[in-house]
Amino acid sequence: MHEIVTLVVNRDVRPVGVPSHYTLLEALRYGLGLTGTKQGCDKGDCGACTVLLDGEPVLSCLTPVWEAEGREVRTVEGLAGPGRLHPLQDAFDVCGAAQCGFCTPGILMSAVALLERNPNPTRQEIREALAGNLCRCTGYTKILDAVELAAARIAEAAGASGSASAGGQGGRPGEAVAAGARAPEGPDTAGEREGGA
């Protein structure tokens, strides 16, 4: 049995014909070709499939597709602005928080939800917010560094512009690294150009 479900993904209205037992993850990946969201376990254990549903992080592999109908779905593909990364994406890149990168989209979505709820989290609060996302490469250290760095930069940008919005303020690839996060420190980094993005 196939049926047509209308999803609102990253503000696009997308009718998609899928088998009726499909999960939101399958509809995104195999129906809409949005392969940024990953499948690591297909049973809700690893968090690689995390997306935002009406702003709340959910495991898309456990979400029947029809449960998402008419609600706002946000995936990793919706984070970056034109020619610029979301501050969290940029901080993950600068800090080396993405090694193999497979858990990264899910972790980014959990982190986006955290910073939208709590723009100035402690390290322990970040650990708690990411506890449903398994990473096997990093030992989490650089991920925690990256979320801290992004929060600091967003706060800085909000202070400068008088806006408190957490989303969409793009970090520019190649910009100098802000002080405060552990990873970008070092004898020859302060103010240095960062390449390769």
Upper half-sphere CA count for residue 165 (Cβ side, 13 Å): 7
Residue 87, φ and ψ in degrees, nearest 5:
-55, -35
Q: What is the DSSP letter of 79?
A: T
CB of residue 175 to another protein, shortest distance in Å: 11
Q: According to DSSP H, which parts of 61-174 are helical?
A: 87-95, 104-117, 123-129, 141-161
Of the candidate spans 4-12, 64-72, 120-128, 149-157, the one that interacts with another protein by CB under 8 A turns out to be 120-128
**Contacts (CB under 8 A) with another protein, residues 146-185:** 173, 177, 183-184
Choose, by CB under 8 A, the member of 5, 25, 58, 105 that binds another protein: 105
Residue 73, φ and ψ in degrees, nearest 5:
-100, 130
**106 touches 96 (CB < 8 A):** no
Choose, by CB under 8 A, the member of 3, 6, 41, 161 that binds another protein: 41
Which of helix, strand or coil describes residue 8?
A: strand
Q: Which helix (H) or strand (E) holds 194?
A: none
- Pick between residue 164 and residue 176 the one whose CB is nearest to another protein: 176
- Pick between residue 164 and residue 179 the one whose CB is nearest to another protein: 179
Structure-block tokens of residue 185: 């420190």
Choose, by CB under 8 A, the member of 4, 13, 15, 33 that binds another protein: 33
Of the candidate spans 8-16, 52-60, 75-83, 154-162, the one that interacts with another protein by CB under 8 A turns out to be 75-83
Choose, by CB under 8 A, the member of 8, 10, 14, 35 that binds another protein: 35
85 binds another protein, rule: CB under 8 A? yes
39 binds another protein, rule: CB under 8 A? yes
